[in-house]
Amino acid sequence: MAKNGRWNLMQEKPMATITNEAVAAPKKNKLGLILIMLTAALAAAGAAYYFTIMQPASKSVAAPVPETPIFVALDPFTVNLQADDRDRFLHIGLTLKVADAKSQAQIVEYLPETRSRILSLLSNRDPNSLITADDKSKLAAEILKALNKPLASSQPPQHIINVLFTAFVVQ
């Protein structure tokens, strides 16, 4: 087992066998590494396909968030009505739905003008013309038309979307 005075720790094998085993081991390692990389690449491609193509389009498009409505609550109105037989009055609470903060600021700034326009519309009403739901809808449309006009000659018209009744009593 000793050659030239040295101990050979390896078992005696022919040189050709040792060389073939040494060459075969790196090929197996390279082949395994290539298979692992190929598997990882296919998994990444599959995941990319699933998340981009297979997902429904409705989830990828966010639904538009509706804007928060802006309301301007007015103090209640109490007016005498045009009645021949006895004293009648109307007690009404109104809230205005406006399009933007600019319209809200204009209404608040010109609140006496706003209230005056509403009082003028309400005070010349006949109590019998305020009974049905259709009558109330017509009144709301008239108030809306009157308030959407400019409050001052130098200003643009208001952007009031709706007139809402919060109280409505005819006596």
Q: Name 90's bridge partners.
A: 79, 170
Which pLDDT band holds residue 83 (cuts at 50, 70, 90)?
A: confident
Q: What is the pLDDT of residue 78?
A: 94
- Please indicate, yes or no, whether the overall pTM of this predicted structure exceeds 0.85: no
Domain 70-170 class in CATH: alpha beta
Which pLDDT band holds residue 77 (cuts at 50, 70, 90)?
A: very high
Query: Residue 113 pLDDT > 60, yes or no?
Result: yes
Sequence spans of domains, the chain: 12-60, 70-170
Which pLDDT band holds residue 85 (cuts at 50, 70, 90)?
A: confident
Which pLDDT band holds residue 25 (cuts at 50, 70, 90)?
A: low
Q: What is the pLDDT of residue 73?
A: 95
